Amino acid sequence: MSSDAGTSAAVATPTRIQALREAIALALPNKLVEVANHTGELTYEVAAEALPAVAAVLRDDAQLRFEMCMDVCGVDYLSHGRDEWNTQSATSSGFSRGVARGAPSSSTMAPGRRFAVVYHLLSISRNQRLRLRVFCADDEQPMVDSVTDIWASANWFEREAFDLYGILFRGHPDLRRLLTDYGFIGHPFRKDFPLSGNVEVRYDPEKGRVVYQPVSIEPRVLVPKVIRHDNRYNAELTAAPAASIAPVTPLIAPPPPAPPAPPAPPKPAPAKT
């Protein structure tokens, strides 16, 4: 075997993910920043001002051909990575998933890093997927360019992100609410939106119609009353072979065995004639 043949054999064939990564680097040099993840998928971050041009290249480049936008979703990173309660055990004060109304935010995130829009793209012709993320520069009035001119399927997806997160899409042909009711105030998927909402509806018999009123639900603190250890996840049960598992002592003792039945009386001997 020649040295050239040995060298070519030693070079590993790139995987589909590696080939896609190389194709993106050639088509969009210095335009995208790869986001690390543990799922074996490609996720890139793009600057908001470069979104329309990057989206057009992802759709039209012969080595990419992302013809379909499968989903557009909003993300609110207001409390990302922070817990509102003790997640390991219960405390004497309990824990709550509610949002403190009117409380100032203690977030220390950098400006322009609260709201993001994530695009899930599919290449039908090349059978490959890509995730694209863009952050909104303004946290008070988040806005990015619409991609409906590039992917028509993004129309209602962008309306949903606007309705639930309040993210504006510049150039959208019909940016209206999609899921919430007429006259709804606020955006329910934002992290600072109260879980119980702001208003509730009820039927008013005097007016003969459904009316809105301030929410009457009292905020609750959820406190677990009992924490039990689940024996099903014991190491000796999950790691040991089935034949070596000792029987588990039941929590409720079985009833005692019934007493033995008394012996039957002897039959009388037959009378002699």
| Interatomic CA distance for residues 107 and 110, integer angstroms | 9
**Model confidence over 170-224: pLDDT tens digits?**
999 999 999 998 888 899 999 988 888 888 889 999 999 999 888 888 766 565 5
For residue 102, give both structure tokens. 């009117």
Q: What is the mean pLDDT of residues 117-134?
A: 96
Nearest-5° Cα angle at 104, 100 to 105: 90
Task: Check: CB of residue 129 under 8 Å from CB of residue 17.
Answer: no
Q: Is the pLDDT of residue 128 over 50?
A: yes
**Model confidence over 238-262: pLDDT tens digits?**
665 655 555 656 556 667 788 888 8
Q: Is the pLDDT of residue 87 over 60?
A: no
Q: Is the pLDDT of residue 97 over 80?
A: no
Radius of gyration, alpha carbons of the chain:
32
Q: Is the pLDDT of residue 271 over 60?
A: yes
Q: In this predicted model, which residue has the larger pLDDT, 140 or 220?
A: 140
**Record: fold of 8-80+110-178:** Beta Polymerase; domain 2 (3.30.460)
251-260 long-range Cβ contacts below 8 angstroms, 24+ apart: none
Burial class (CB in 10 A: 0-12, 13-18, 19+), 157: buried
**Model confidence over 227-240: pLDDT tens digits?**
566 777 676 766 65
Give domain limits for the chain: 8-80+110-178
Q: Is the pLDDT of residue 96 over 50?
A: no
Q: Compute how many other C-beta atoms are within 10 angstroms of the C-beta atom of residue 64.
A: 22
Residue 27 confidence (pLDDT): 96
Q: Is the pLDDT of residue 72 over 50?
A: yes
Task: Check: CB of residue 95 under 8 Å from CB of residue 85.
Answer: yes
Residue 190 confidence (pLDDT): 94
